[in-house]
A and B are shown apart, each in its own frame.
Chain A
Amino acid sequence: MTAIILQVVIGGLLMGLIYALVAAGLSLIFGLMDIVNFAHGELMMLAMFAAFVLWQYAGLDPLMMLPVVALLLFGLGVLIYRGLIARALSVSFNRGMVQIFVTFGLAIFIRGAAQFVFGGEFKSINTGWLAGRTAQIGGVYLPLPQVAASLVCLVAFAGLLAISRTEFGRALEATREDRDAVALIGIDRDRIFALGWGLGAATVGVAGVMLAGFYYVAPNVGANFALIAYVTVALGGFGSLLGALVAGVLIGEVEAVTAALLEPSLKQVSVFGIYMVVLMFRPRGLFGKL
């Protein structure tokens, strides 16, 4: 009995840490410049396809491609900011709507393009150092690809926290506080925003690569995770990294416990139920400062 309970709790934790990492990039971008990136799930999907292509054609293990894909996604994030977001920010009329539609349109474009290039078939990375391996400790099973993903997730969070302590991190924080004032003290706001987008995309890229090690890869895979990511960010508090971590794990556990004790089809009902309760008492989210 304890083994079953432990198994459910660990399953929730392993998935929750992935949710947290997916949400971290979203939270970062939102906290920095008040933009909800609706293409966040699609960036993750692109990272998964990048991992798949590198695995298929270069035979690289998912763990080895982590830095490569993270760099690719960083570049893509900067590109998206420079090419689209910066322009959307500069409109003077109905800026909020333009910002929503620019990332929303980008999401649909990326998904359609992926369908065109890779086809609609489901793909999987079937070999690798950890693929399909499971460790067993006292009747509890630990799927190694997911354990690795969780560890990478914790390292990534530590990295993000470390970055927030650096000069760049303080510039990020300052830009978030008052985007107009920072220009006066010589911080290039545009550059900070671009780097923020790069960092956010790289984070979800790391999540995508780790996920590709035990998940299927398909053009619509991002959508399944994006919704959870939005709730995670809102639950944890916009712009709060710690909030994303705690909320991600909380959502993973709520899902696991609901599926184990109640109806599995009610998973999302529980998640959104808890979100609404939190919203009633703490509208800014668990760790929100804004």
Chain B
Amino acid sequence: MKRFGISLFAMAAALAAGAPAQAADEVVIGAVYPLTGNGAAVGLDAKAVLEVGQDLLNNAHDPIPMLMGKGGGLAHLGGAKIRIVFADSQNDPQKARAEAERLITQEHAVAIIGSYTSATAATISQVTERYEVPYMSADNSSPSLNQRGLKWFFRTSPHDEMFTAAMFQFFKDIGAKTGHPVKSVALFYEDSIFGSDSSGAQRKLAGTSGINVAADIKYRASSPSLSAEAQRLKAADADVIMPSSYTSDAILILRAMNEIGYKPKAIMAQAAGFQEQGFLTGAGPLAEGTMSRSSFALDAARTRPAIPAVNAIYKAKNGKDLNDNTSREITALMVLADAIDRAGSAKPDDIRKALIATDVPGSQTIMPWAGVKFDETGQNTKGTPVIQQVTNGTYHTVWPFDLAVQETVWGVK
């Protein structure tokens, strides 16, 4: 009888939303990712991890200590299953727009999740706004995405300004802890939108934190040589060098500094190239001590007990550990599924209300975040990043201090 009631309700809801009736025992979520083309490697990982999430949500299994970790379908929807329908954006904003539209109108998706690049997220979220279904941004990091007055946009991941704020909070904390605060930074950034946005946020925060910008160096990405740039960093000799670089430049600048006998006191990277395996092998011992922000900490199992279980299942399926992207993707799916479950309805408007009411503590996720709680722009304000440092060739979490697996090696005197 209860099932029947929900069915009727769902039918009415679906009719009200202008979509054909849905069986209540299945809730369709659309996922738009680059499954072919130049973003395919990331997109196929996203597909794999979302399928892992779908299995965890629907099937019976040993409970995992996290949000929606019990399995067996959506309890408040009579055990309804989540079905994810994937669509290929080919990393093209226009194809992403068309695919999002198709997922909503043909596949009757009640929410869309996506999409790796911020450019595709911008078009998808326009479509979801028009059709009034929630867009769950799992892994898009451009700060402007939630600043467009959209009602149906939600983002669990931190964006680049929050990442930068975390770096400066770390500077403050480590200064208080060691008695050696950061007095000056050198900004070193490549000349495309990533570098200019990242350095813009850093410049602003250095100003408000009373930290001197000793050098402000915009360099040409993929230059054959960075030795003169290294010379300028050496001349400035700031307490912390803050690079925003892709992999090739990250390798080159560390080598170039070494070649002129310059050992920086500290490096704090805006992830990107510095989080790549190619950087760690390419820079080799020179990378030791380098710090970078990250939104995920694989080594935080002590405070996030769900990590080993989820990672093991994902690794068995895809042969890789969870990383910065895949961890954020499965977390976004769980947050969305929880909202649908709490709504007790597959009606987009109810899901939206439930998303707005979301307040999940960080310990209920696999992320090192304080939690998930959306502000009026749809941005998760509790998505606090971590700072990691390279020791023995891999990154280890050193901040926030309660999540740290080891002490920071702090070279600032």
Which A residues have a C-beta under 8 Å from some C-beta of B?
4, 7-8, 11-12, 14-15, 18-19, 121-124, 126, 132, 134, 136, 141, 143, 146, 214-216, 218, 221, 223-225, 228, 252, 255-260, 263-265, 267-268
Contact = CB atoms under 8 A, between A and B. Distances in A.
Contacts of A12: 228
B231 A260 contact: yes
A201 B228 CA distance: 30
Contact of A264 (B232, B252, B277): B232
B278 A136 contact: no
Interface in B164-220: 191, 217-220
Nearest to A266: B220
B218 A216 contact: no
Chain B interface mostly: helix
A15 B260 contact: no
Given A4-B231, A225-B224, A259-B229, A123 B282 contact: yes
B261 A259 contact: no
B278 A123 contact: yes
B352 interface: no
Contacts, number: 103
B276 interface: yes
21 contacts: A11-B231, A15-B227, A121-B278, A122-B251, A122-B276, A122-B278, A123-B281, A132-B255, A132-B258, A134-B261, A141-B259, A143-B259, A223-B222, A252-B225, A255-B223, A255-B225, A257-B228, A258-B228, A259-B229, A264-B228, A265-B219
Contacts of B218: 263-265
Interface of B: 191, 217-220, 222-229, 231-232, 235, 247-248, 251-252, 255, 258-261, 276-279, 281-284, 286
Contacts of B283: 124
Contacts of A123: 278, 281-282
A124 B251 contact: yes
A126 B228 CA distance: 22
Contact of B248 (A4, A8, A143, A218): A218
A259 B232 contact: yes
A14 B224 CA distance: 12
Given A11-B227, A121-B277, A126-B284, A224 B251 contact: no
Given A8-B228, A126-B284, A264 B217 contact: yes
Contacts of A146: 259
B232 A260 contact: yes
Nearest first, the 3 A-B pairs at minimum CB distance are A122-B278, A259-B228, A143-B259
A27 B260 CA distance: 32
A146 B226 CA distance: 13
A216 B282 contact: yes
B217 A122 contact: no
A58 B276 CA distance: 27
A132 B286 CA distance: 10
A100 B397 CA distance: 52
B282 A141 contact: no
Contacts of A126: 281, 284
B222 A216 contact: no
Contacts of A259: 219, 228-229, 231-232
Given A134-B261, A136-B261, A141-B260, A264 B229 contact: yes
